[in-house]
Amino acid sequence: MAKIIDHIRKASGKTLFSFEILPPLKGQNIDNLFSAIEDLMPFDPPFIDVTYHREEFITKPTANGGVEKIVRYKRPGTVALCAAIMHRFKVDTVPHILCGGFTKEDTENALVELDFLGIDNVLALRGDPVKAEGSFRAEPNGNRYASELVCQIRDLNQGQYLHEELAMKKTDFCIGVAAYPEVHMEALSSEKDLEYLKNKVDMGAEYIVTQMFFDNEKYFQFVEKCKKAGINVPIIPGLKPLVTKKHLEVLPKIFHLEMPQDLIKEVNRATTDQAVAQVGIDWCVFQSRELKKAGVPVLHYYTMSKSPAVKEIASKVF
């Protein structure tokens, strides 16, 4: 198996294909997910990202009239799923590691398990806040920012653990981080957002994956800004095909992005759900071809664990 940065170097300028999946909901069968992955394997992905989903809270009345807060994990199994995919498909996996929901001790233990399994790529993310809390809150003795998480992973790569003082085994993780071409919704400014991203790279991140965007010019402008700021690691564009009219309203709100007017017009002109999905696929094909022509290192697709749309796109691009 290999590191993401090595896959990119070995490609020698060729644009690679990769995608992200979600672990199944607790209690669901994994066969449907494996089937979706199988559909996309002909496009030779060197790696597959596997998301991690932090805890959620539900409340339950108690016998004495109080309220009990219960922690639930809707999509457990990221580490196990990564190992299963590597075993079944002989492809590298990239588990997402979050600040939210983890103490530093939890993080260290998770990374040690990944190292045992031979998984040497991770995507370091702060993570979203718990829905009930509104704003992000780190765990006591947890990492507050993705940059702190990157530092902890880097320290393990240097053999520096939290408590042990003897010479310890060095891990060898390739660290990826996320970026928003259209600025993170919590950022004070685009300049500050870029400053924080550079800090993550300076701390040890070796590549960047962007959040979805629907206007390639946003990506190209972002890459130029990164270069001027001294960020010289590969920047992988993340793409998602629009599949429903609701996405026109939902995606901009959730991910703080702009929808191109031409795309909005084409979607609104479509009269059936199938026609809307086809507009989204065609738009993503256009984006992909333009980005590939520009020589991006990887085209990374957010599949939501469903393969048909991305399969059609990849068949027209790769």
The one-letter code for the residue type at 16 is: L
Percent share of the chain, pLDDT over 70: 90
CA distance 40 to 34: 10
Model confidence at 163: pLDDT above 70: yes
Angle (CA) 278 279 285, round 5°: 85
The one-letter code for the residue type at 176 is: G
The strand ranges marked E within the chain are 16-21, 47-50, 56-61, 67-72, 92-98, 121-125, 174-179, 207-212, 235-239, 298-302
Q: Are the beta carbons of 73 and 42 closer than 8 angstroms?
A: no
The pLDDT value recorded for residue 27 is: 84
Summarize the confidence of residues 87-106 as an average pLDDT: 95
The pLDDT value recorded for residue 136 is: 73
- Furthest CA-CA distance within the chain: 67
* Residue range(s) defining the domain that contains residue 39: 4-317
Phi, then psi, of 23 in degrees rounded to 5? -60, 150
CATH of the domain at 177: 3.20.20.220
Query: Distance of CA 68 to CAs 39, 107, 182, Å?
Result: 44, 27, 40
Summarize the confidence of residues 21-47 as an average pLDDT: 94
The pLDDT value recorded for residue 178 is: 97
Query: Distance of CA 99 to CAs 27, 95, 127, 252, Å?
Result: 25, 13, 6, 24
Counting the structural domains of the chain, the total is 1
The pLDDT value recorded for residue 173 is: 98
